[in-house]
Amino acid sequence: MTKCFSFTASRDWWYRYIFSYAGLKSVTTNLGEGTTMHCWIPKIIKPAKPNLVLIHGFGANAMWQWGNYLRPLIPRFNVYVPDLLFFGESYTTHLERTEHFQAQCLKKLMESFQVQKMSFVGVSYGGFVGYSLASQYPDAIEKVILCCSGVCLEEKDMKDCLFKVSDLDEAASILLPQTPDKLRTLVKMSFVKPAAAKTVPSYFLLDFIEVMCTHYIEEKRDLIQNILKDRHFADLPKISQPTLIVWGEEDQVFPLELGYRLKRHLGDNAELVVIKNAGHAVNLEKTKEFLKHLKAFLIDNGIDNGTVHDQNSHNSVNDNIDSKNSENNRN
């Protein structure tokens, strides 16, 4: 029987409506040299507002990952929601697959919108790209929020069994699911309380896979391979911007230890918030709590009026980091 209805495509259309209704428009930009990037940008850009870029990770597209954040953020910020290369409508003929190249292309994209200063929220892989953006262009980035983004991992972590998966091929098979069982595994690893993942009919899972997970598969596998290839913690630069690190306490993709490691690396310039009863998809699983921390960091601390104040909350987490220093330094 010919398939005539897609729940995933219908929901995708609904998100497009939500983005448009919220005051954003869909723009595709040719950056030259075979690279094209898509982004949702404000229909009306208000110079008095600061700029905020929401950078997605793997999984569902950017609209699905950020749809719940438009209403509370758009009144305060000029919000930009890009598709990274090989996601959504963005692609390149360039052969480089590093987060550094992604960051360079994202910077060119923002420059095409006349955006010179911005803050960003990067989730998972989006945090890798954002961290590189902050490192390469320190004068352009005002504040950094990294959510469950293992930027401080290194190649030997896989051999040391830090992760649930045994190698990158297994990781790619889960992050780029091509079967209902692999998608169920991804959901189980991403959420503390998966929304009935075991009982969702395979028909709906196959529909999601067809719409979300069948484009640029090889290119995305290369992106995953390049995350870990020849990666050494000692080579990770220290970014200078005020940084908020948010982590789900039960993250099974990038374990919480990586959050503590990043906090130690950045020192007093960063704050770590650990959200309980949350996994890797903390931005989807604990939306209200995640948003509360975003607003406290970006708005209550003055990014919306051009000032920056010290972040002194969540001392219990930072004290916990101090108590872990001696333990982890022995490893």
130-141 pLDDT per residue, tens: 999 999 999 999
- pLDDT band per the 50, 70, 90 thresholds, residue 311: very low
Residue 304: partners with Cβ closer than 8 Å, 6 or more residues away: 49, 50, 76, 77, 298
Answer whether residue 302 shows pLDDT above 90.
Answer: no
pLDDT, tens digit, for every residue of 255-265?
999 999 999 99
In whole angstroms, what is the distance from residue 166 CA to residue 214 CA?
24
Instruction: State the pLDDT at residue 50.
Output: 97
Token readout for 161 is 């069994």
Give residue 43's Cα distance to chain centre. Answer: 24
pLDDT, tens digit, for every residue of 35-45?
999 999 999 99
In whole angstroms, what is the distance from residue 122 CA to residue 128 CA?
8
Answer whether residue 3 shows pLDDT above 90.
Answer: no
Answer whether residue 321 shows pLDDT above 80.
Answer: no
- pLDDT band per the 50, 70, 90 thresholds, residue 4: low
Instruction: State the pLDDT at residue 300.
Output: 77
pLDDT, tens digit, for every residue of 8-34?
999 999 999 999 999 999 999 999 999
| Cβ(309)–Cβ(301) below 8 Å | yes
Answer whether residue 275 shows pLDDT above 90.
Answer: yes
Read off the pTM. 0.89
Q: Which helix (H) or strand (E) holds 149?
A: none
Across 124-221, where does the E strand assignment appear?
A: 141-147
Distances (CA, A) of 314 to 74, 272, 279, 320: 26, 8, 19, 10
SS3 53: strand
Instruction: State the pLDDT at residue 199.
Output: 76
In whole angstroms, what is the distance from residue 134 CA to residue 241 CA?
8
- pLDDT band per the 50, 70, 90 thresholds, residue 59: confident
Answer whether residue 320 shows pLDDT above 70.
Answer: no
pLDDT, tens digit, for every residue of 155-206?
999 889 899 888 889 999 999 999 999 999 999 999 998 765 567 889 999 9
Helix and strand numbers (H, E) in the chain are 14, 9
In whole angstroms, what is the distance from residue 105 CA to residue 130 CA?
12
Answer whether residue 316 shows pLDDT above 60.
Answer: no
